[in-house]
Structure 1
Amino acid sequence: MENNSLNLLCLPYAGGSENIYINWKKEIVNGVNIIPIELSGRGKRMQDPLYNNLDEALEDIYRKSCEYLTDSPFAIVGHSMGSILAYELAKKLLKDDKKVPEFIIFSGKNPPHVKLGTNYHQLPNDEMLQKLQKLGGINPEFSKYPELLSLFLPIIRSDFKLVETYEHIPSIPFDHDIYVMHGANDTITSGSSLKEWDNYTNSNCFYKEIEGDHFFIDSNLKDVIDYVNNVCGKYLVYF
């Protein structure tokens, strides 16, 4: 990687893999390297064990990210569960006196101190699927394919366990800018709680509403990429 480029580490939502960000590579502004982080137990890491808790996930993500943190400036983006992982990764880097990101984009998630308030990971398979379908992330037709369900359900259950049992430990605010994307029709994020992202940085916190439900990151890719390109462009001029 060239020193005048920006590495953008991309963390997926619950049940997702690095494929979420494949199309970003085609549309991202010149000078930005899209680095999707594949989580354990899915995609090309299907043979690796799923995480038992968030600490395991964080250590794994940290190891997978290290090679992209030294030669080039970097930033982090995460959607939903990925926002929690992005936040905890940035905290770990700050605590360990490593390089810190130029900025973070948190997407589809209330601030870490706001509990999700669900127990999807404890529900029977059919009930959990119904809940997820209401969020907009799963096509009802998916339930007709038991082979796919047998692969997907353990992943989504494990991921929701990470998010639903997550305990936020407050730390000092970041000194870099943060950006918050949220869906106009997202039932998970709420206006009053969303604004509390302001408390997580001593710098600027910017908000961007995008048309769509919780999975606007997939359904409204153009607006998402336009915004991400705009954000990245503000920093590329300094490298």
Structure 2
Amino acid sequence: MLKVENLSIYFEDNGKIQEAVRDISFQMQDREILGIVGESGSGKTMTALTIAGLTKEHEILERGSILLDDTDLLKLPSAEMRKIQGKDISMIFQEPMTALNPTMKIGKQVEEALILHTVLSKTERRKTVIRALEDAELDHPDLLYGKYPHELSGGMRQRVMIAAAIVCKPKLLIADEPTTALDVGTQESILKLLKKLNRKYDMGILFISHNLRAVNELCSRVLVMKDGVILEEGITREIFENPRTEYTKELIAAIPGHTRSTAFYELLCAEAGE
């Protein structure tokens, strides 16, 4: 479904060309949940933004290819890419309060993708928005439709972002640190929701995070990035049980109270309810 080949990303910083991502390649299958982990500056978010086409308006140079069902996204003009954004590819960001427009009501914000990508009537759009809010497990969606973001809790705002991202039933949902700003209990519920939506709509999820517990709970495979390159990739359990690089070992060892061992992985599984 998604094939990234020899992707390099460069940008200009104070007159100097900086390399954010260097010659990375990976694939995603239909309905797969793939995790990308790494510290800040590893290139994981820049990779996600490039796949979503959100770097095209900036002074950024990309080389390589990003194939979505055999369409090279890097070769598409901005107008063609906008036809894909929100319809075939959607993105959830870390902080919904900054991603949502504080001056627009919730219903109108979720509806925007439907206005751009469908020919539904106003009544049909409202019904579709209500269903998306229900799918995001928000109570009383008919009442939420007319509320503003500041009237909702952080967890509710994140669910609104999810509703807006899935309203057109995309092939690929990119989630960039979607649980970082939430308390532990809300994080758990959001992860369970993403897993449920993955099964319900058969959509792939690219999950960007530095939270290894979240990656373990949600993702079937994982890529480990550092300094713009992929250090290793594989089935999540195998990466946790037998990390090949020192960096991955350090990431696992950095979680307080745990060691780099099969017992550590099994503890994560127990905490995830698996």
Relative contact order, CA 8 A, sep 6+: which one is greater? Answer: 2
Q: Which structure has the larger Rg over C-alpha atoms?
A: 2
Same fold (TM over 0.5): no
Bigger fraction of residues in strand = 2
When normalised by structure 1's length, the TM-score is 0.31
